[in-house]
Amino acid sequence: MLGAAIALSAREQPVALPSPSPTPTIAATPSPTPSPSPSPSPTPTVAVTAAPTPRPRPTTNVAGQQLMTYHFQIRAAFPIFPPTPQLDFDEPAGENGDAWYRGVNASGQPIFAVREDYVMTPSTAFHELGHAYQDLVQRKTAGSDVMAKYWTYRGFPGTWQVALTEANAQPVGMAQWIHLPGESWAESFSVAMIGGGREKTLDYGRTINPVAMKAWFVSLMPAAP
């Protein structure tokens, strides 16, 4: 019995094996969600502004007809004027100017145009008619220089040719306009016909006498044939 007991005790006691370590679970790292690319700001659409359609040019001389009353008045004092002038179509509203003298046509009629929205004044009307008077007189007295006579009568310095050269050296605009001999003539004619007022052109300190100036203009009338 003892041997059996020894034999039994001599047997290896079963060794409890450690439980296998659990295989570690690797938590899946979530893929980073890509940040949404910012949408590009829409480029503002620039509206193309269409160029304004040019207004059609006037095809009447309604504004120009305002000159007729003044023309008849002048013709009564200066028969050198023809019975009627040539009135071109009016100029568009907004044009830089009020009225224009455009020379004498082949029939001897002065040519005028007026801005379509302009309300005629005696000053402007007689000014433009004054330009015509200079041309009409010069055509009748081709052998003389009527502007030179005017320059001398007014007592202006130098000659009108020098004044013209100096005027043309001025910037285009009012600075030039007030120095132009032809504009001086037209301004003095306007003041003389109205009977008063002040010239807008340079008078070189020689204030105009309207009554004497009108008599001088009348004196230029060529003798009737």
- Whether residue 78 lies inside any domain: the answer is yes
Q: For residues 33 and 206, what is the distance between their CA atoms, to the nearest angstrom? A: 93
Q: For residues 199 and 217, what is the distance between their CA atoms, to the nearest angstrom? A: 16
Q: Would residue 195 be called left, alpha or beta, if left means φ above 0 and alpha means ψ between -120 and 50 degrees?
A: left
Predicted pLDDT at 102: 98
Q: What one-character DSSP code corresponds to residue 172?
A: T
- Whether residue 9 lies inside any domain: the answer is no
Look up tokens 């044939």; give the residue.
Answer: 225
**Most distant CA atoms of the chain, gap in Å:** 187
Geometric angle at alpha carbon 82, from 79 and 86, rounded to 5°: 145
Q: Model-level pTM?
A: 0.76
| β-bridge partners, 209 | none
Predicted pLDDT at 224: 61
Tell me the helix, strand and coil percentages in the chain, rounded to 5.
40, 5, 55
Predicted pLDDT at 4: 37
- Whether residue 137 lies inside any domain: the answer is yes
**How many domains does the chain contain in total?**
1
Q: Tens place of pLDDT for every residue, the chain, 225 residues?
A: 433 333 333 334 343 334 444 444 444 444 444 455 555 555 555 556 677 677 789 999 999 999 999 999 999 999 999 999 999 999 999 889 999 999 999 999 999 999 999 999 999 999 999 999 999 999 999 889 999 999 999 999 999 999 999 999 999 999 999 999 999 999 999 999 999 999 999 999 999 999 999 999 999 998 765
- Whether residue 58 lies inside any domain: the answer is no
Q: For residues 192 and 211, what is the distance between their CA atoms, to the nearest angstrom? A: 6
- The SS3 assignment for 143 reads coil
- Whether residue 93 lies inside any domain: the answer is yes
- Whether residue 27 lies inside any domain: the answer is no
- Whether residue 3 lies inside any domain: the answer is no
Nearest to 92 by CA among 70, 114, 122: 114
Predicted pLDDT at 182: 98
| Crossing angle of the two packed helices 122-140 and 67-77, in degrees rounded to 10 | 50
- The sign one gets for the Cα dihedral 175, 152, 137, 140 is negative
Predicted pLDDT at 5: 36
State the CB neighbour count (10 A cutoff) for residue 23: 6
- Whether residue 14 lies inside any domain: the answer is no
Domain residues for 154?
A: 64-219
Cβ atoms of 91 and 39 closer than 8 Å: no
Q: Is 117 exposed, middle or buried (0-12, 13-18, 19+ CB in 10 A)?
A: middle
Predicted pLDDT at 225: 57
Straight-line distance from the first to the last Cα atom of the chain, in angstroms, rounded to the nearest whole number: 187
